[in-house]
């Protein structure tokens, strides 16, 4: 199977190169024979890539340690769950996963367009997608082939095993979802390039990308959220987002994607922002490649990187090629991309969307500059200087608050021009509710610091705006003869994108609540406790019990018993621990003890035993963290509801009319 | 050894599967009675309308005979390309590859 895997990827690469050539030739010569041949070449390449994936799984599951990758990232003791995720634990495997997912998506793209003879842009779209796939298959087949064997037929008796930090359920879901999101952004990019080449510059390409873009955004949202959750419960530092370079790299395409899924509505409804949309979709794909590059280079130090690899320079070439070709194509077609309408009023939905895009781009610029700051200072001063979390908090928090408010205001504005009467009518209830909520915020202690107070108040305002929109939709459905519940379902199905989007906005509000609560009201204490000693922190009383060493499947656990009471009521025994994995016996990996409630999380880290029987613990009470995860869930759900085929009546013209 | 042979055979079969359409005659993709795609109808319709406008311009003296011939030739080439591209050559082109205007006429946009 090793040989099959080794050769399947180069064979897939050549099929993809043929497909790209056939699509472009067929598109230029208008010869469908080549398009049909290109379609088949994509299916063949995908079949070969899937065969390669089967071969790698076969090698991992049968412990074929003659393969360097298998020996490096798995061992005989690794539980099956992690054996499956070891596929993408290293650089060659994760790159292969990117390519595998992209191959499947390009096949879907080809399949859904196989009978479409109307659009001259499609061959160029599929050719571009094939070229992107070819890039990944080139890397997996020739530069970082995961099937390479050790020299001189060496076969180790056991593998080195997976990095213990990766032995977490998060590893099973987080990387594949991120790569799915990255791969999915390839398709809108390909549609944009196809449209530019073929001069098909109306909004058909936008409609074609809508589903892919929403899918990519939703999957990235889920992937990033799971990454944050993994970091929170696994890394033992009490946080969920550290502004680590690779974390930042994952959020760049999300920010651009968020801007794109809003700005496309301007083109659909008002034929504006045409150039901007092409630029955004190119930037979204570019940031995906940039993020993948960052994890495969040594230009920045991060927990997540694989260090410099053979593929690093090829990613730089790809970034340069995408940048030059995107700019070149847009400049080439610039005269044909003039907006057909112009802004009529500053109080309009158009301005709301433009403001959304501006804020997203500002946040993107801040994250990019912060991430690359060590590289810039390395070039200018010869020393890499990193920015700390304070930089991001100082700059992004105000921008984030503006964005939050824009989420409330934007949906209530009218297209073209909002009348003063209309604004009064739309904003009366949200403003009144916000004012009425002030005593409640103060009573719950949310008025300090001022930043927290502003955040909570803005959250109430935006929630009221969104709920008012839902309410109006349901009332309209009710007047049309629907019941209240069936009216809600009818309203949702009639315009999934709008109401799914509002749900995502509501999720973002909850996320702000969680971040404000946990960052501004966190209580933290570091203590040494002997057996029988206890500590009171907030409503929690924590009493230390025994400490023991226990053997698990592939690691030893050094764990402490802690009896926890909340306001005098016994919650139970908590066991924070430190794991010593068989493949890293000298290194301790913290396993935190967590107690979730709707109000706060109790987070306990065990730091090991000190002298005279005392043991070190770090105890954190993080308020409202639950709402952060609930917000991530709602955002993901909103994205899913926007794209799932809930209504059988949907067709392209209805979709177009439903925009915004 | 056996798996290698199967792999090579599979690769060759896939290569054949991929290349076969290229060596076929241009596929007659659309049966004569098939409903025409809207994009194709629109494209052909606008080209036919353009051809008629040319004749009108020539009749009203806005276009000289040489310009008329050159522009008509360009537009006719686009018309033939569009028909070939969509795979309707047997339906809308004659044996010499010239457009069958009498069959195309219903598609013209007034």
For A374-429, the pLDDT digits (tens) are 889 988 888 888 888 888 988 999 999 999 999 999 988 888 888 888 889 999 99
Determine the pLDDT at residue A653.
39
Q: Is A428 left (phi over 0), alpha (psi -120 to 50) or beta?
A: alpha
- Chain B residues whose CB is inside 8 A of the A3 CB are 3-4, 7
The CA–CA distances, whole Å, from A218 to A213, A223, A504, A637, A639 equal 8, 9, 10, 8, 5
Q: Is B21 in the A-facing interface, judged by CB distances under 8 Å? A: yes
Binned at pLDDT 50, 70 and 90, residue A164 comes out as: confident
- Rounded to an integer, the average pLDDT of A143-155 is 90
pLDDT for residue B76? 86
- The neighbour count for residue B46, using CB atoms within 10 Å, is 14
Q: How many Cβ atoms are within 10 Å of A40's Cβ, its own excluded?
A: 24
A385 Rama sector, left if φ>0, alpha if ψ -120 to 50, beta otherwise = beta
pLDDT of the residue at A647: 62
Residue B17: which of A33, A44, A118 has the nearest Cβ?
A44
Confidence of residue A650 (pLDDT cuts 50, 70, 90): very low
Question: Which token pair is A323?
Answer: 């940048």
A481 Cβ partners below 8 Å, 6+ apart? none
Assigned token pair, A104: 């499947």
Question: Looking at the predicted structure, is the pLDDT value of residue A236 above 90?
Answer: no
Distance (Å) from the alpha carbon of A333 to chain B's nearest alpha carbon: 21
Pairing outcome for strands A577-581 and A555-566: antiparallel
Q: What is the pLDDT of residue A659?
A: 37
Lowest mean pLDDT among A400-404, A616-620, A641-645: A641-645
- More confident of the two residues A340 and A192: A192
- Tell me which residue of A25, A16, A270 sits closest to A137, measured CA to CA: A16
At A117, which helix (H) or strand (E)? none
Which of A74-78, A112-116, A302-306, A615-619 has the highest average model confidence (pLDDT)? A615-619
Among the partner residues A4, A34, A37, nearest to B3 by beta-carbon distance? A4
* Nearest neighbour of A32 by CB, restricted to B17, B37, B85: B85
Q: Which residues contact A313 (CB under 8 A, 6 or more apart)?
A: none
B44: contact with A, CB 8 A cutoff: no
Rg (CA), chain B: 21
Please state, as a whole number, how many other Cβ atoms lie within 10 Å of the Cβ of residue A482: 16
> Which of A4, A34, A44 lies at the smallest CB-CB distance from B22?
A34
- Using a CB–CB cutoff of 8 Å, tell me whether B98 touches chain A: no
Residue A655 has pLDDT above 70, yes or no: no
What pLDDT band is residue A271 in, cutting at 50, 70 and 90? confident
Instruction: For chains A and B, count residue pairs whose Cβ atoms are closer than 8 Å.
Output: 70
Write out residues 108-167 of A within 8 Å (CB-CB) of B.
Answer: 116-120
A612: left (phi over 0), alpha (psi -120 to 50) or beta: left
Measured between alpha carbons, how far is A565 from A462 in angstroms, rounded to an integer? 37
Structure tokens at B36: 């025409």
Q: Which of B25, B36, B40 is nearest to B85 (CA)?
A: B40
At residue A651 the predicted structure's pLDDT band, cuts being 50, 70 and 90, is very low
Residue A213, token pair as written in the block: 């873009």
Q: Given an 8 Å threshold on Cβ–Cβ distance, is A4 in contact with B20?
A: no
**Residues of chain B neighbouring A22 (CB-CB closer than 8 A):** 22
The structure's pTM equals 0.86
CB contact under 8 A, A118 and B85: no
pLDDT tens-place string over residues A471-500: 999 998 898 888 888 989 888 888 888 999
Whether B56 shows a pLDDT value over 80: the answer reads: no
Mean pLDDT of chain A: 90
Give the model's pLDDT for residue A364.
95
Is 50 exceeded by the pLDDT of residue A301? yes
Q: How far is Cα of residue A360 from the mean position of the Cα atoms in its chain?
A: 15
- The 10 Å CB-count burial string (b at 16+, else e) for A282-296 is bbbbbbbbbbbbbbb
pLDDT recorded at residue B30: 46
pLDDT digits (tens, 9 = 90+) for A114-148: 877 778 899 999 999 999 999 999 999 999 999 99
Using CA atoms, how far apart are residues B3 and B8, in angstroms rounded to an integer? 9
User: pLDDT at position A288, please?
Assistant: 95
Do the chains contact at A44 and B37, CB–CB below 8 Å? no
| The pair of three-digit structure tokens given for residue A308, joined into one six-digit string | 């410099």
Q: Is B7 on the interface with A (CB under 8 A)?
A: yes
Instruction: Please say whether the beta carbons of A656 and A572 come within 8 A.
Output: no
Q: List CB contacts (< 8 A) between A117 and chain B.
A: 29, 37, 39-40, 85-87
Contacts of B84 in chain A (CB under 8 A): 30-31
Cα separations in angstroms, A460 against A475, A510, A543: 22, 10, 39
pLDDT band, residue B41 (cuts 50/70/90): confident
State whether A15 and B26 contact (CB < 8 Å): no
Q: From CA B91, how far away is CA B76, in angstroms rounded?
A: 16
> In this predicted model, what pLDDT tens digit does every residue of A18-37 receive, in sequence order?
999 999 999 998 888 899 99
Hunting for tokens 């009470």 — which residue is that? Answer: A621
pLDDT greater at residue A394 or residue B67:
A394
pLDDT in tens, A92-104: 999 999 999 999 9
Does residue A445 surpass a pLDDT of 80? yes
């Amino acid at each position: 199977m090793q040989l099959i895997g080794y050769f399947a990827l180069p064979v897939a690469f050549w099929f993809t190169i043929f497909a790209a050539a056939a699509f472009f030739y067929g598109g230029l010569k208008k010869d469908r024979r080549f398009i049909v041949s290109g379609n088949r070449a994509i299916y063949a390449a995908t079949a070969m890539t899937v065969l390669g994936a089967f071969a790698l799984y076969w090698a991992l599951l049968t412990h074929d340690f003659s393969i360097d990758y298998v020996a490096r990232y798995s061992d005989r003791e690794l539980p099956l769950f992690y054996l499956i995720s070891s596929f993408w634990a290293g650089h060659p495997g994760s790159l292969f996963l990117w390519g595998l997912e992209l191959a499947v998506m390009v096949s879907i793209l080809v399949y859904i367009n196989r009978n479409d003879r109307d659009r001259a842009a499609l061959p160029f779209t599929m050719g571009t997608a094939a070229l992107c796939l070819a890039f990944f298959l080139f890397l997996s087949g020739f530069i970082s082939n995961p099937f390479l064997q050790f020299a001189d037929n060496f076969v180790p008796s056991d593998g080195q095993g997976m990095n213990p930090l990766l032995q977490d359920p998060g590893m099973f879901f987080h990387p594949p979802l991120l790569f799915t999101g990255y791969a999915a952004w390839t398709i809108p990019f390909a549609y944009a390039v196809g449209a530019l080449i073929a001069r098909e510059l109306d909004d058909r390409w936008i409609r074609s990308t809508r589903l892919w873009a929403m899918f990519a955004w939703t999957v990235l949202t889920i992937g990033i959220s799971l990454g944050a959750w993994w970091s929170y419960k696994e890394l033992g530092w009490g946080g969920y987002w550290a502004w680590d370079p690779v974390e930042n790299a994952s959020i760049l395409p999300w920010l651009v994607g968020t801007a794109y899924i809003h700005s496309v509505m301007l083109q659909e409804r008002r034929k504006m922002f045409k150039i901007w949309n092409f630029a955004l979709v190119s930037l979204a794909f570019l940031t995906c490649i940039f993020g993948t590059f960052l994890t495969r280079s040594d230009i920045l130090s991060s927990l997540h990187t694989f260090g410099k690899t053979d593929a690093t320079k090829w990613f730089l070439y790809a970034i340069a090629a995408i940048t030059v070709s995107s700019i070149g194509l847009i400049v080439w077609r610039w005269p044909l991309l003039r907006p057909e309408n112009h802004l009529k009023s500053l109080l309009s939905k158009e301005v709301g969307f433009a403001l959304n895009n501006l804020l997203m781009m500002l946040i993107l610029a801040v994250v990019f500059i912060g991430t690359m700051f060590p590289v810039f200072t390395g070039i200018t001063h010869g020393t890499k200087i990193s920015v700390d979390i304070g930089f991001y908090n100082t700059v992004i928090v105000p921008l984030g608050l503006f964005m939050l408010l824009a989420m409330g205001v934007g949906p209530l504005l009218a297209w073209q021009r909002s009348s003063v009467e209309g604004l009064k009518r739309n904003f009366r209830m949200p403003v009144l509710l916000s004012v009425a909520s002030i005593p409640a915020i103060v009573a719950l202690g949310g008025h300090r610091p001022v930043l927290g107070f502003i955040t909570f108040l803005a959250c109430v305002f935006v929630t009221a705006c969104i709920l008012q929109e839902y309410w109006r939709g349901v009332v309209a459905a009710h007047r049309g003869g629907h019941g209240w519940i069936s009216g809600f379902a009818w309203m949702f199905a009639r315009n999934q994108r709008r109401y799914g989007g509002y749900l995502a906005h509501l999720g973002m509000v909850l996320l702000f609540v969680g971040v404000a609560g946990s960052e501004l009201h966190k209580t933290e204490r570091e203590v040494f406790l002997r057996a029988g000693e206890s500590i009171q922190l907030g409503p929690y009383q924590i009493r230390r019990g025994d400490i023991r060493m226990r053997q698990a499947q592939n690691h030893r656990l050094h764990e402490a018993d802690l009896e926890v009471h909340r306001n005098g009521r016994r919650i139970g025994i908590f066991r924070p621990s430190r794991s010593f994995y068989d493949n890293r016996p000298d290194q301790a990996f913290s396993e935190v003890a967590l107690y979730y409630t709707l109000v706060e999380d109790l987070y306990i880290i065990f730091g090991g035993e000190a002298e005279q029987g005392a043991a070190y613990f770090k105890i954190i009470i993080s308020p409202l963290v639950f709402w952060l995860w609930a917000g991530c869930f709602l955002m993901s759900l909103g994205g899913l509801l926007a794209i799932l085929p809930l209504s059988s009546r949907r067709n392209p013209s209805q979709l177009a009319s439903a925009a915004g | 050894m056996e798996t290698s042979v199967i792999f090579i055979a599979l690769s060759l079969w896939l290569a054949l599967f991929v290349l076969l359409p290229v060596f076929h005659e241009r596929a007659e993709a659309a049966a004569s009675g098939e409903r025409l795609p809207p994009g194709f109808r629109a494209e052909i319709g606008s080209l036919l309308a353009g051809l008629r406008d040319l004749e009108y311009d020539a009749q009203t003296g806005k276009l000289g005979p040489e310009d008329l011939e050159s522009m008509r030739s360009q537009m006719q080439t686009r018309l033939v390309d569009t028909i070939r591209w969509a795979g309707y050559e047997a339906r809308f082109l004659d044996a010499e590859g010239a457009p069958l205007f009498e069959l195309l006429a219903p598609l013209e946009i007034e």
